């Protein structure tokens, strides 16, 4: 069984066009993500999947593996599914979908993510969440929140603060979704074939497609936060991060 990380990247982001090529401490963001993922010893390969020649040439330029995918993919996981097919991965291989806008990714979280799938053959999809009490995270719609059942499976993901403490008197945990997924390759193919769900369309969250079609997502609580880049203003915030400072 192989474990392969695929980093879907497109140039035409509505909120931040060209962010994959934005410099972070002197290197393009996609290179930062690639290099962080390569530090995870459990991976057989790290591959960028893109539909843009500029990103393709950038990855080739720093010596990374890259495949060209269609511009019609609906989301990052659909793009990862196409790339996994082009790479010839087998049904039981594990594909880790890493967002191309997480240059502060801690490679240790990838081992945490795939461990449940390695230990339990019945699991087909997993993702990561980080416990937070930061109001900036909780109230930011770009920071997705999730709630879990007693066995650690997702009940829902939302851009809104969930769970909502109606009376303001109930102690509760808030989990920030980090947007990194692990799939068995055969399920990734199935996921990409599913029709978009109504909740996915409303929240603009691809993982809700799996849940709306009746599939369970195992959520792993990680000890390692990862700050994403959603808008141009996030660059300045990120460059004040201790990780980025260590690169300069």
Residue 217 has pLDDT above 60, yes or no: yes
What pLDDT was estimated at residue 246? 56
Please report, for residues 1, 95, 96, 122, the alpha-carbon distance to residue 43 in angstroms, rounded to integers and kept in the order given: 11, 10, 9, 21
Radius of gyration, CA atoms only, the chain: 17
Residue 224 has pLDDT above 80, yes or no: yes
Residue 131 lies in a domain: no
| pLDDT tens per residue, range 129-182 | 999 999 999 999 999 999 999 999 999 999 999 999 888 888 889 999 999 999
Gap between the Cα atoms of 46 and 2, Å rounded: 11
Average pLDDT of the segment spanning 114-128: 97
Please report, for residues 36, 116, 147, 207, the alpha-carbon distance to residue 110 in angstroms, rounded to integers and kept in the order given: 11, 11, 21, 18
Residue 245 has pLDDT above 60, yes or no: no
Residue 92 lies in a domain: yes
Residue 97 has pLDDT above 80, yes or no: yes
Gap between the Cα atoms of 113 and 43, Å rounded: 12
CB 232 within 8 A of CB 142: no
What pLDDT was estimated at residue 223? 94
Domain of 120 in residue numbering reads as: 3-126+177-247
Residue 190 lies in a domain: yes
Predicted confidence band at 27 (pLDDT cuts at 50, 70, 90)?
very high
Residue with token string 């203003």: 233
Nearest to 33 by CA among 200, 183, 178: 178
Residue 91 has pLDDT above 80, yes or no: yes
Residue 139 lies in a domain: no
Average pLDDT of the segment spanning 108-127: 97
Q: Domain of 224: which CATH number?
A: 3.90.550.10
Predicted confidence band at 25 (pLDDT cuts at 50, 70, 90)?
confident
Residue 166 lies in a domain: no
Share of the chain above pLDDT 90, in %: 78
Domains in the chain, number: 1
Pairing state between β 145-148 and 174-184 = antiparallel
Gap between the Cα atoms of 47 and 152, Å rounded: 29
Average pLDDT along the chain: 92
Gap between the Cα atoms of 7 and 33, Å rounded: 8
pLDDT higher at 1 or 241? 1
Residue 196 has pLDDT above 70, yes or no: yes
Residue 220 lies in a domain: yes
Residue 181 lies in a domain: yes
CB 191 within 8 A of CB 155: no
CB 46 within 8 A of CB 65: yes
Residue 23 lies in a domain: yes
Gap between the Cα atoms of 221 and 60, Å rounded: 34
What pLDDT was estimated at residue 226? 86
């Amino acid at each position: 069984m192989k474990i392969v990380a695929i980093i879907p990247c497109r140039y035409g982001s509505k909120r931040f066009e060209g962010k994959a090529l934005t410099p972070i401490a002197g290197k393009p963001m996609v290179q930062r993500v690639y290099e962080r993922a390569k530090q995870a010893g459990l991976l057989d390969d790290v591959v960028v999947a893109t539909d843009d020649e500029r990103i393709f040439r950038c990855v080739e330029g720093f010596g990374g593996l890259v495949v060209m995918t269609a511009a019609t993919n609906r989301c990052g996981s659909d793009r990862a599914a196409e790339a996994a097919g082009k790479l010839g991965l087998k049904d039981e291989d594990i594909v880790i979908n890493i967002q191309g806008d997480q240059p502060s990714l801690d490679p240790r979280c990838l081992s945490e993510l795939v461990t449940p799938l390695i230990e339990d053959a019945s699991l087909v999809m997993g993702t990561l969440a980080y416990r937070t009490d930061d109001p900036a995270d909780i109230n930011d719609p770009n920071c997705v929140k999730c709630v879990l059942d007693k066995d650690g499976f997702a009940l829902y993901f939302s851009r809104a603060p969930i769970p909502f403490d109606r009376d303001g008197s109930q102690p509760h945990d808030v989990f920030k979704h980090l947007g990194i997924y692990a799939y068995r390759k055969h399920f990734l193919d199935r996921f990409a074939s599913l029709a978009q769900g109504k909740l996915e369309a409303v929240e603009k969250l691809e993982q809700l497609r799996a849940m709306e079609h009746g599939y369970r997502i195992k959520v792993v609580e990680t000890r390692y936060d990862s700050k994403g880049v959603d808008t141009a203003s996030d660059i300045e915030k990120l460059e004040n991060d201790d990780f980025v400072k260590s690169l300069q």
